[in-house]
Amino acid sequence: MPGPMHGFGRGYLTEEEKANRPKVTWPLLKRVFSWLAPYKFQMLLVIMAIFVSSVFSLMPSVLTGRIIDEGLIGRDLNALIRLILLSLAVTLGANLIGVFESYLNTWIAQHITFDMRNQMYRHLQEMSQRFFTTNNQGDIITRMTSDIDGVQRTITNTLTDILRNAITLIVAVTVMYRQNPILATVGILIIPLFTIPTRSAGRTRWSLTREAQAASDEINGILNETLSVSGQQLVKLFGKEKYEYDRYEAANRRMIDLNIKESMAGRWFRVVITTFSSIGPMLLYLVGGILMMKYDSDLTVGDITVLVALLGRMYGPVNQLLNIQVDWIRSMALFKRLFEYFDMPAEIRNADDAVVPAEESEGCVEFRHVDFSYNPERQILKNVTFNLESGRCIAIVGPSGSGKSTLINLIPRMYDVTGGEVLFDGTDVRKLDLAWLRQNIGIVSQETYLFNGTIRENLLYAKPDATEEEIIEACKKANIYDFVQKQELGLDCVVGNRGLKLSGGEKQRISIARVLLKDPALLIFDEATSSLDSISEAKIQEAIDPLIEARTSILIAHRLSTILHADEILVLKDGEIVERGVHEELVKKGGVYTELYETQFRQALDAVREAGTGYPEAYGPSDVY
Ligand code: ATP
């Protein structure tokens, strides 16, 4: 009798789940059902299919009574064959309808999750940079994958299980009462007899399983920590071998004790189930027999058999319905979590009356008393004011953490200012069409990101309709073409984890080629602080120089050679522009710039000199160094 086993696998709510049990409110339910709304018609068909298949699958139990009374006891071979065939036919029918129902069910669930995934992805695309820096990437991916898969399970299992079990129970109880009200009442009173022990035995076993799992996790933790290269080194250097061994042995012993207990609990669980589930039918036979023999001569052997069979069919649904509360709470918690994600507002949005300027962009940037902070506790930029005219170049220098990257992120609206304004081509960036604004800004960042595709695919990302000549031209300008030619597959070799490993310098040059294809009015170049050797640096320099000459640009510079290109240098310290001017003036001031020059630039310069590469003429007047 498989019935009582049903539902065991669902487990029980953990303490944490109980504490975080979501409040099921009407708006929440309405919102859950709004996802089902587009599939109303299909849902209706599913409900009908569940109803018919539940009724059909109970029919053989009812027919058994007639098989016994009319066929066997009545000795009517024709009726016997007819009833047997009918019983087989309804079983087949119930199963075929079941197949149809599963198909429809899966179809609906897949389509709902399809809608949900797409909508979530679109929503996430709209989220600002802040969202991605403050949320753990793992959490975001979990929302997109396993949480939405959970929704699918809710629809294919939880909702249909509730329906199927409820319908089966209602039909079974109705038939039982029609068959014999007294026996039906006895049958229903018996139900707690098997559900209560089954549930408590199940709970014990479940908590043991969880404890064993925790012990096994602990063992894995110890193994991972102590059997790694650095872990072992630590153990050896501190002479902790015995300590670690004892810790491991204790955890290991706890696990075997729990495993033995769990295994025995499983065995006892089966004993409880088989014992209690056989008591039910026996009681029905007893009461039925007494009724038949002493009080109610109409009651037949077939009737009693039907009641016993129907009772057997009720075990599963009763148990599942009792357990469904767990699924229900988990599902609601899941929906709530997803809806919370959906409800996060997009911080950076296109203004309703956003403008797309008619004339071509010149890439001019103006900062007017700009303040910015990531969070209220700490202001990052303070009263930053500067003006970058068309075709000119500004270099921003400053100690690490002074706010240089933050400053440039305000131009393409990765973040919005908290005070003052940023103007692009004379208009506040918040009033410009976001797509237009970003189209006109090209950033070569320190941490170059390439998608895991071919070099060509990465370049085409900037301009999908670029011709072969344009791509090659961009590669040549970015000083990466020689490298590409040396690759077996040329532009079609794969970058990233699956294929070619690129150095930081090569990646940055590919990203320069990518920006070249984009051909923006304003170029922002965030120079790498470290990790590049002087040859790579020189190659990048060679690529970037003509670019800067040709357009309006902002450079976050760490190297003197780059700085010397600029028409104006802004020195940023703790988010404030503390000095500004050209190299010759600044270096003589004896302030922050001079200090930076002495420590950073000079070393870099010496390194370039030693390597014998670089562009001495670019370093300006020789009296400077
Ligand atoms: P580096 O030269 O090292 O790249 P930087 O001058 O570009 O430094 P920023 O990256 O602009 O400096 O950072 C300025 C300050 O803002 C730092 O103190 C940093 O810790 C903080 N900061 C940067 N990004 C965030 C963020 N997403 N959330 C909160 N604080 C941030």
Q: What angle do CA 53, 59, 60 make, to 5 degrees?
A: 115
In this structure, the residue with its CA closest to atom 23 of ligand 1 is 406
Please, which residues have CB within 8 angstroms of residue 447's CB and are 6 or more apart in sequence? none
DSSP-derived letter for residue 293 is I
- The Å distance, Cα 337 to ligand 1 centre, comes to 30
User: Could you report the per-residue pLDDT of 572-594, keeping only the tens digit for each?
Assistant: 999 999 999 988 888 888 888 88
Please, which residues have CB within 8 angstroms of residue 124's CB and are 6 or more apart in sequence? 131, 140, 144
Please report the pLDDT score of residue 4 as a whole number: 36
In this structure, the residue with its CA closest to atom 27 of ligand 1 is 133
- The Å distance, Cα 554 to ligand 1 centre, comes to 18
User: Could you report the per-residue pLDDT of 330-381, keeping only the tens digit for each?
Assistant: 888 889 989 998 999 888 889 889 999 988 888 999 999 999 999 888 999 9
- What are the structural domains of the chain? 22-180+299-342 (1.20.1560.10), 361-440+523-625 (3.40.50.300), 444-519 (3.40.50.300)
The span from the CA of 84 to the CA of 89, in Å, is: 9
Higher local confidence (pLDDT), 324 or 460? 460
- The Å distance, Cα 574 to ligand 1 centre, comes to 10
Ligand 1: residue of 397, 405, 415 to mutate (most ligand atoms within 8 A of CB) is 405
How much is the CA Rg of the chain, to the nearest whole Å? Answer: 37
What is the three-state SS of 29-87?
HHHHHHHHHHHHHHHHHHHHHHHHHHHHHHHHHHHHHHHHHHHHHCCCHHHHHHHHHHH
In this structure, the residue with its CA closest to atom 3 of ligand 1 is 400
The proportion of the chain whose per-residue pLDDT surpasses 70, expressed as a percent, equals 92
- The Å distance, Cα 576 to ligand 1 centre, comes to 13
Mean pLDDT of 188-205: 80
User: Could you report the per-residue pLDDT of 423-469, keeping only the tens digit for each?
Assistant: 999 999 999 999 999 999 998 887 778 888 888 988 898 888 889 99
Burial-class residue 19 by CB neighbours within 10 Å (0-12, 13-18, 19+): exposed
Beta-bridged to residue 378, according to DSSP, are 375
Burial-class residue 58 by CB neighbours within 10 Å (0-12, 13-18, 19+): buried
Please, which residues have CB within 8 angstroms of residue 365's CB and are 6 or more apart in sequence? 387, 388, 411, 422, 423, 424, 522, 552, 554
Please report the pLDDT score of residue 624 as a whole number: 31
170 has a pLDDT exceeding 90: yes
Q: What angle do CA 496, 502, 508 make, to 5 degrees?
A: 105
8 A C-beta contact, residue 522 and residue 441: yes
Higher local confidence (pLDDT), 555 or 139? 555
Q: How far is CA 522 from the centre of its chain?
A: 35
Reduced to 3 DSSP states, what percent helix, strand and coil does the chain have, rounded to the nearest 5?
A: 65, 10, 25
In this structure, the residue with its CA closest to atom 17 of ligand 1 is 401
